[in-house]
Amino acid sequence: MSKINLSQDISFCKGPVDIAELASAELASAVLARHRPAMEAKRLVLSISLPGPLTIYADAESVTDALENVFGNAAKFTPDGGTVAVTLRDEGCWARLDVVNTADALAEEELERIFHPFHRGERKSAEGAGLGLAIARKAMERNEGWISASNMDQGLSFSIRLPLCDLRGSGE
């Protein structure tokens, strides 16, 4: 695959954002279910805490795209027999979804770079073009949310925050 000229601004937008009330636990559970076969094939231990109801205000399609990429990466990069923990919680005005896996820690400078288009880090042998986390970041930005990565004692954590209220009328 040839790379697009990286000096250009790459847009992953599919059109206007359609903000709606979404049941976050149900959405996360549905997307996660699509990745269970890959996780089971690697004998991953899956820990899920998705309490409900927790209604977010976001575009269903772009949030689904982001979750597909984060859960897909967890399935792909967690070593065989490892653990993936998915936790959803209410943090005041935000819903926070954490996906923690027992993948190898990343160098501190990599924790931000992994969200850049075409960045594949040191795992270049893995399939993919290095676009998944860039798509996830753009999807979160379009929904007034964010995604970040951090190293944990025994793995890597991805945190996604999405609003629990409609921010469109706030002047932001």
pLDDT for res 7: 34
CATH of domain 19-164: 3.30.565.10
Q: How many CA atoms lie within 13 A of 17 on its CB side?
A: 22
pTM equals 0.85
Band of the pLDDT at 52, cuts 50, 70, 90? confident
For 120, phi then psi, to 5°, come to -120, 0
pLDDT for res 171: 44
The mean pLDDT of the chain is 86
Cα 57 to Cα 67, 71, 159, 166, distances in angstroms? 15, 21, 17, 6
pLDDT for res 60: 96
Domain ranges of the chain: 19-164
5 pLDDT more than 70: no
- Express each pLDDT in 10-49 by its tens digit: 455 566 789 999 999 999 999 999 999 999 999 999 999 9
